[in-house]
Amino acid sequence: MRKKETMAQEEKDREDLERVKQNIEKLEKEVIDKKQLPKEEEEKINKKLFENIFIADILMVFFYLLSLGSLNIETPVFLKDLKVFSMGLIVLTIILFEISYKKENANLCIHGIECLVLAIVTLFSSYIYMIQMKEFHIYSAIVAYAFAIYYVGKSIIIYKKMKKQYIASLSDINEIIKK
């Protein structure tokens, strides 16, 4: 009789263990599904990432053209071009700051700061060109790579931050705490 009870208990334990395994598998699947970003959320993130990569590409081309200009344009004309580019970038910076202030848009403000840094670098480029005329293309390449690294790093941070925000928005903890 004890054997039957033990066998019945073992059978019940196996069934319980099987249910627990199924529940664990179901929970694992739910966690994996929640970590997957929906298509519209992924598109929103990709839009921001491509925007930053596009800006990095434009800056790489800009500094490449500056490098070519330093080799092919006469010195006084090239220095004047650098000053014109710098002034144009400063005007663009002011416009970005004004628009970001009126719309209270932090993203535009960040682009304005980045544009200001680019204007300052372009302004200093004329002095570096006067001092180190032959190595200006090296300076230009270093600055281009620095901006590219900055924008790639910024894109990585944006991706991680937006994904973390999305996952946090799915959490029920905030609702439970409010109650």
Give the 3-state DSSP-derived string for 52-119, with helices as H, strands as E and coil as C: HHHHHHHHHHHHHHHHHHHHHCCHHHHHHHHHHHHHHHHHHHHHHHHHHHHHCCHHHHHHHHHHHHHH
Task: Please report the pLDDT score of residue 17 as a whole number.
Answer: 75
Task: Please report the pLDDT score of residue 3 as a whole number.
Answer: 64
Of the CA atoms within 13 Å of residue 179, those in its CB half-sphere come to 4
pLDDT in tens, 66-106: 999 988 999 999 999 999 999 999 999 999 999 999 999 99
Indicate whether 173 pLDDT > 80.
no
* pLDDT attached to residue 99: 94
Count Cβ atoms below 10 Å from residue 155 Cβ, excluding itself. 19
- For residue 31, pLDDT over 70 is answered with no
The pLDDT of residue 174 is 58
DSSP string, 17-56: HHHHHHHHHHHHHHHHHHHSPPHHHHHHHHHHHHHHHHHH
According to the model, what pLDDT value does residue 44 have? 87
Q: What percent of the chain is modeled with pLDDT above 70?
A: 87
DSSP state letter for 135? T
State residue 19's pLDDT score: 81
Integer Cα distance of 155 and 166 in angstroms: 16
Length reported for the chain? 179
- Average pLDDT value over all residues in the chain: 85
**Per-residue pLDDT tens over the stretch 127-166:** 999 998 888 889 999 999 999 999 999 999 998 898 888 7
Low-confidence winner among 33-37, 38-42, 80-84, 99-103 (lowest mean pLDDT): 33-37
- Stretch among 1-15, 57-71, 73-87, 103-117 having the lowest mean pLDDT: 1-15
Percent of the chain clearing pLDDT 90 (strictly above): 51
